[in-house]
Structure 1
Amino acid sequence: MDGYQLFMAMLAVYLCGLIGIGWYFTKRQKTVTDFWLAGRKVGTIGVGFSSAASWLTAGGILAVIGFFMLLGMGSIWGFVAPNILALLIIAIFVKRIKHLPAITQAELLEQRYSSAIRAPVGIIITIVMILFAVADIKGFALVLQIFYGVDPIYAALIVALAVSVYVTLGGLHAVVWTDVIQFAFLSIFAIIMAFLAVDSVTSNVATISTASDLFSGVPGDWWNPFIIGIPMVLIFVFAIIPGWITEQDPWQKVWAAKDSTSARNGLVLGSLLVTIVFSACAVIAIALSALYPEIPAAGFPMGMAQAEPALLTYIVSTFSPAIIGLSAIGLAAASMSCADTFATSGASCVSRDIYQRFIRPDATMKQMLAINRLSVLFIVAAATVASFFIDGIIEAIHIATFIASASYFFPLMGGLYWKRATKEGALAGLIVGAVAQISFTIYDKVMTSPMAPPYLETVHPILMNHGVIVGMALSGIAFFGVSFMTRPSNIVNLAPFFKEAAEELASHEAQAVDEDSAEYKKFLKNVDEQITGERAHLHLRLEGSATVNWTRFVEQLKDSYAAWVTPTGIDSVYRLIQADMLACVSITRGEGEKEIWFASEPPVDSVEMQKRELFIAYKEVAAALEETGVILTMANND
């Protein structure tokens, strides 16, 4: 058995394990929330390991090692520091977003502004996620090309097929727990390679006999993260970090967490895990620089063509086929742990923000689960095709980040914290930022000669990174300027985000419930209750006497009771009486066209009160349905 056959055998065993995890979670996919957010029941370990794994692509790791070899610690601001800082910053505002029942950022923005912004944001996020997935596929293609001389198309197919199978089977449940395994593979690989690379230096370089000799021989400037100058550090920070703190996939990990504490601690854990792997990358870079001194001597950017694959070259020239195969598995884990997250995140926009919101808002849960899986296949296929047209790994990541930063940073973050933000301002910021950034990027790519610095960077340093800071500035000016010139948002849009607006909306008189009545006791027997972390999950699944005309029913419900609103379309209807929208009772279609599913996720200390609210919601829904000629029934359960 040659080296490639050995690798394929190892890969087959590894992929069977991942697919087995996906198969295990298949039966847990009952609702859209189960598929995209793992039922909102992920703990600290799952959030932490999955967040770390999602941002450590194989191509990114190889590029980071290359940058360390050529630029030292001064290179951390282009990729390393933004990874770590973004997770910590998101952890700070977990409480601000955790109570929102969104599945995607586009859905959140519709809650805050209007339906007009949902489709554009959903499309932009889909494009961004495809570009991120491209970087994963290209990184793995580079690994197989150097290790085994395999054509890039086969690497793309391996990632595409593997990710498609276990994600479509198990949804985010499968993504999270395969990420835990894949991060373990990746981190062990990186740490072992760091030790082995140092050992190779001390064994083969005559002037270096100990690890102490190796590290003491590193030039002092190499260790200085501010060697590029504070102005350049600030340019990188403002160019990259806004895009990463508004990147959708870590927000979805927050929404998937069982409570705020798990989400916050998980993100902090994720940043620590990322730091450990990047520290190993720095050690590897120092050792490889000693083994291949001609690479750092070539300087940046000329030496990057050799620096990026330097680790792969070292592995091929040093180790046995078995070790090479295990190394390939470790880097495959990095590729797939990122690709699965980006496929899930992008596909949720296609399914939730495009199909369910605008094409089939009355789709049943069974129909949506099928669309969810098709959407995953679409994202993976699009990324696979795009990988043959984009050359640079980090370049693909940065282009995606810059588009996100310039287009929806201000509408998203401004909407969370600024009550005066309006839908017109959000649309203006989105359109101006997206058009400006895409135009800057295309112009910069066209005007830049091969092996030359980016053209816009030579015009002025503020135009570094395809002019993203200017793109963001234009977006911000449009967002704030138009918001001030237009009418404030509707109170229904403000209530989930601002407590005083929710209190104003909920000023109606509370309804009393006779808890000793036979009807209420029968109702409670039909309520499914589960406690997860700080919250309870209350579910009620009922069936009508005939097919429910969903559009007509929702209109009747809203006309009859002012508390019922559709801030994100008629597929989900909320009884909005408080700022904590997760606790508010919501209704959706069930698996069939006769079913209606009720849900509420209140804090544990208010479960009994929320059961009464659920009963009131049931009575109102039953009355509205009766007006449409449908009788809602409960099981006897005696």
Structure 2
Amino acid sequence: MDGYQLFMAMLAVYICGLICIGWYFTKRQQTVTDFWLAGRKIGTIGIGFSSAASWLTAGGILAVIGFFMLLGMGSIWGFVAPNILALLIIAIFVKKFKNLPSITQAELLEQRYSSAIRAPVGIIITIVMILFAVADIKGFALVLQIFYGVDPIYAALIVALAVSAYVTLGGLSAVVWTDVVQFVFLSIFALAMAFLAIGAATSGSADISSASDLISNVSTDWWNPFIIGIPMVLIFVFAIIPGWITEQDPWQKVWAAKDSTSARNGLVLGSFLVTVVFTACAFIAIGLNSLYPEISAMGFPMGMGLAEPALLTFIVETFSPAVIGLCAIGLAAASMSCADTFATSGASCVSRDIYQRFVKPDATMKQMLTINRLSVLFIVAAATVSSFFINGILDAIHIATFIASASYFFPLMGGLYWKRATKEGALAGLILGGVAQISFTVYDLLMTAPMAPPYLETVHPILMNHGVIVGMGLSGIAFFGVSLLTKPSNVINLAPFFKDVAEELASHDAQEVDDQSLEYQNFLKTLDEQITGERAHLHLRLESSATVNWRKFIEQLREAYPVWVTPTGLDSVYRLIQADMLACVSITRGENEKEIWFASEPQVDSVEMQKKEVFIAYKEVSKALENVGILLTIPSED
């Protein structure tokens, strides 16, 4: 068995293990929330390891090592520091958005502004996620090309088929727990390579006999993270971090966490784990610089073509086929752990923000799970095709980040904290910033000569990174300026985000429930209750006597009972009677056109009261259905 056959055998075993994890979770999915948010049951360890694994792509790691070799610690501001800082910053904002009843950022923005913004944001996020996944596929393609001379298309197919298999089976639960496995492989690989590269650099030199000698010989400038100058550091920070703190996939993990504490601590843990891997990358670079001094002598950017694959070259020249195969598995884990997250996040926009919201609002849960899985396949396929048209690994990541920063950073973060933000302002910021950034990027790529600095950077430093600072500036000016010139947002849109507004809007008319009645006791037997972290999950699945015309039914329900609202379309209807919207009873269509599902996620200390609210909601829904000749009843126990 040659080296490639050995690798394929190990990869097959590895992928089978991932698919088994996906299969395990597929039987535990009852709702779209289960698929996309893992039933909101993920703890600190799952959030932490998954967050770290999702941001450590194989291509990114190879590029980081290359930048460390050529530029030293001054290079951290282009990728390393934003990775670490973004997770910590998101942890600060956890409490603000953890309890918002959203599955995607586009859905959240519709709640805040209007339906007009949902599709554009959903499309932008989908494009961003595809570009991120491109970097994963290209990184793995580089690994297989150097290790085994394999054509890039086969690397793309391996990632595409593997990720599609376990994600379409297990949804976000499969993503999180396969990420845990994948991070273990990746971190062991990175730490082992750091020791081996340092060891190889010291064993063949008479002047450098120990790791401490090797490290002490590194120049002071190499260690200085601010050697590029504070203005350049600030440009990188403001260009990259806004795009990453508004990236959808970590927000979905926050929404999937069982409570705010788990989400916050998980993100902090993820930031620490990312730091560990990047620290290993720095030591790998030190060892490789000693082994291949001719690469660092070439400088940046001329040496990047050799620095990026330098670790792979070292592995091929040093180790046996079995060890090379294990290294390939470690880098495959890095590729898949990112690609699965981006596929899941992008597919949620395709299925929920576009298909369900605008194509088929009355889609059943069974139909939505099918569309969800097809959307994952679409994202992976689009990334696979795109990987053959984009050359740079980090360039794909940066382009995606800059588009996100310049388009929806201000509408998203401004909408969370500024009541005066309006839908017109959000659309103006989104469109002007997005169009400007895409135009800057295309122009910069067309005007830049091969192996030359980016064209816009030579015009003026403020235009570096494809002009993203200017793009963000235009977006911010449009967002704040137009918001101040237009009518304030409707209180229905403000309620989920600002507690004082929700309290003014919510109905506090008390409705008595006879908790000793036979009807209520039968209801309690049907109600499914689970406690996870700080919240309880109450679910009620009922079937009506006939097919329900969902649109007509919701219109009649809202007319009869004004407390029922549809802030994000007819697919999710809320009984808005309290400030905590996640606790408010919601109804959705079930697996078929006769089923109606009720859900509520109250704080644990208010579960008993909320059970009565679900019962009241059931009575109101039943009455609205009776008006059109349809019965909805609680099945009685024999």
What's the TM-score, normalizing by structure 1? 0.99
User: How far 1:204 sits from its partner (Å)?
Assistant: 1.1
CA distances 1:13-63 after superposition (whole Å, capped 9, x unpaired): 101101111111111121111111111111111100000000000000000
SS in 2 for 1:636: coil
Partner of 1:263: 263
CA distances 1:330-358 after superposition (whole Å, capped 9, x unpaired): 00000000000000000000000000000
Q: Contact 2:137–2:155 at 8 Å: present in 1 too? A: yes
State yes or no: 1:345 paired with 2:345: yes
CA distances 1:68-104 after superposition (whole Å, capped 9, x unpaired): 0000000000000000000000000101001111110
| 1:295-314 correspondence to structure 2 within 5 Å | 295-314=295-314
Partner of 1:598: 598
User: How far 1:510 sits from its partner (Å)?
Assistant: 2.1
Q: Which amino acid in 1 is paired with 2:285?
A: A
Q: Contact 1:497–1:579 at 8 Å: present in 2 too? A: no
Q: CA RMSD in A?
A: 0.7
Quote the Cα distance in structure 2 between the aligned partners of 1:487 and 1:512. Answer: 39
Quote the Cα distance in structure 2 between the aligned partners of 1:260 and 1:627. Answer: 42
Partner of 2:546: 546
User: How far 1:578 sits from its partner (Å)?
Assistant: 2.3
State yes or no: 1:518 paired with 2:518: yes
CA distances 1:257-296 after superposition (whole Å, capped 9, x unpaired): 1111110110000000000000000000000000001111
Partner of 2:398: 398
Quote the Cα distance in structure 2 between the aligned partners of 1:209 and 1:381. Answer: 50
Percent identity, please.
85
Quote the Cα distance in structure 2 between the aligned partners of 1:288 and 1:456. Answer: 32
Partner of 1:206: 206
Q: Contact 1:535–1:601 at 8 Å: present in 2 too? A: yes
State yes or no: 1:610 paired with 2:605: no
Partner of 2:33: 33
| 1:15-30 correspondence to structure 2 within 5 Å | 15-30=15-30
| 1:323-342 correspondence to structure 2 within 5 Å | 323-342=323-342
State yes or no: 1:423 paired with 2:423: yes
CA distances 1:414-464 after superposition (whole Å, capped 9, x unpaired): 000000000010000000010000000001111111111001001111101
Quote the Cα distance in structure 2 between the aligned partners of 1:624 and 1:504. Answer: 26
Quote the Cα distance in structure 2 between the aligned partners of 1:482 and 1:515. Answer: 52
CA distances 1:584-636 after superposition (whole Å, capped 9, x unpaired): 10000111111100000111011011111111111111111111221101111
Partner of 1:451: 451
Quote the Cα distance in structure 2 between the aligned partners of 1:579 and 1:408. Answer: 26
User: How far 1:508 sits from its partner (Å)?
Assistant: 4.1
Q: Which amino acid in 2 is paired with 1:159?
A: V
Q: Contact 1:552–1:628 at 8 Å: present in 2 too? A: no
Q: Which amino acid in 2 is paired with 1:590?
A: G
Partner of 2:291: 291
Quote the Cα distance in structure 1 between the aligned partners of 2:579 and 2:276. Answer: 39
Quote the Cα distance in structure 2 between the aligned partners of 1:287 and 1:559. Answer: 71
Partner of 1:369: 369
User: How far 1:637 sits from its partner (Å)?
Assistant: 2.7
User: How far 1:518 sits from its partner (Å)?
Assistant: 2.0
User: How far 1:205 sits from its partner (Å)?
Assistant: 2.3
Partner of 1:360: 360
SS in 1 for 2:540: strand
SS in 1 for 2:56: coil
| 1:50-449 correspondence to structure 2 within 5 Å | 50-449=50-449
Quote the Cα distance in structure 2 between the aligned partners of 1:414 and 1:95. Answer: 16
User: How far 1:157 sits from its partner (Å)?
Assistant: 0.3
| 1:432-511 correspondence to structure 2 within 5 Å | 432-511=432-511
Structure 1 residue runs of 4+, over 6 Å off?
Answer: none
SS in 1 for 2:162: helix
User: How far 1:516 sits from its partner (Å)?
Assistant: 2.0
Farther-moved stretch of structure 1 (426-435 vs 25-34): 25-34
Q: Contact 2:507–2:576 at 8 Å: present in 1 too? A: no
Quote the Cα distance in structure 2 between the aligned partners of 1:534 and 1:181. Answer: 27
What's the TM-score, normalizing by structure 2? 0.99
SS in 1 for 2:593: coil
Quote the Cα distance in structure 1 between the aligned partners of 2:316 and 2:306. Answer: 14
User: How far 1:507 sits from its partner (Å)?
Assistant: 4.2
Quote the Cα distance in structure 1 between the aligned partners of 2:564 and 2:483. Answer: 27
Partner of 2:47: 47
Question: How many positions carry a matched residue from both structures?
Answer: 638
User: How far 1:579 sits from its partner (Å)?
Assistant: 2.7
Partner of 2:570: 570
User: How far 1:517 sits from its partner (Å)?
Assistant: 2.0
Farther-moved stretch of structure 1 (522-531 vs 329-338): 522-531
Quote the Cα distance in structure 1 between the aligned partners of 2:532 and 2:509. Answer: 31
Q: Which amino acid in 1 is paired with 2:466?
A: H
Q: Which amino acid in 1 is paired with 2:349?
A: C
User: How far 1:522 sits from its partner (Å)?
Assistant: 1.7
Q: Contact 1:495–1:578 at 8 Å: present in 2 too? A: no
Partner of 1:626: 626
Quote the Cα distance in structure 1 between the aligned partners of 2:267 and 2:93. Answer: 11
Quote the Cα distance in structure 1 between the aligned partners of 2:141 and 2:637. Answer: 57
Quote the Cα distance in structure 2 between the aligned partners of 1:210 and 1:110. Answer: 59
Quote the Cα distance in structure 2 between the aligned partners of 1:143 and 1:509. Answer: 64
CA distances 1:542-564 after superposition (whole Å, capped 9, x unpaired): 11111111000000111111111
Quote the Cα distance in structure 2 between the aligned partners of 1:117 and 1:363. Answer: 21
CA distances 1:521-549 after superposition (whole Å, capped 9, x unpaired): 22111111000011100001111111111
Q: Which amino acid in 1 is paired with 2:362?
A: D
Q: Contact 2:507–2:578 at 8 Å: present in 1 too? A: no
Quote the Cα distance in structure 1 between the aligned partners of 2:507 and 2:2. Answer: 74
User: How far 1:206 sits from its partner (Å)?
Assistant: 2.7
SS in 1 for 2:598: strand
Q: Contact 1:74–1:228 at 8 Å: present in 2 too? A: yes
User: How far 1:515 sits from its partner (Å)?
Assistant: 1.6
Quote the Cα distance in structure 1 between the aligned partners of 2:620 and 2:487. Answer: 33
Q: Which amino acid in 1 is paired with 2:216?
A: S
Quote the Cα distance in structure 2 between the aligned partners of 1:362 and 1:506. Answer: 26
Q: Which amino acid in 1 is paired with 2:527?
A: V
Quote the Cα distance in structure 1 between the aligned partners of 2:624 and 2:183. Answer: 50
- Structure 1 portions without partners, runs of 5+: none
Quote the Cα distance in structure 1 between the aligned partners of 2:39 and 2:388. Answer: 36
Partner of 2:555: 555
Q: Which amino acid in 2 is paired with 1:531?
A: I
Q: Contact 2:506–2:579 at 8 Å: present in 1 too? A: no
Q: Which amino acid in 2 is paired with 1:298?
A: M
Quote the Cα distance in structure 2 between the aligned partners of 1:505 and 1:622. Answer: 24
CA distances 1:481-513 after superposition (whole Å, capped 9, x unpaired): 110111111111100000111011114422222
SS in 1 for 2:562: coil
Quote the Cα distance in structure 1 between the aligned partners of 2:181 and 2:637. Answer: 42
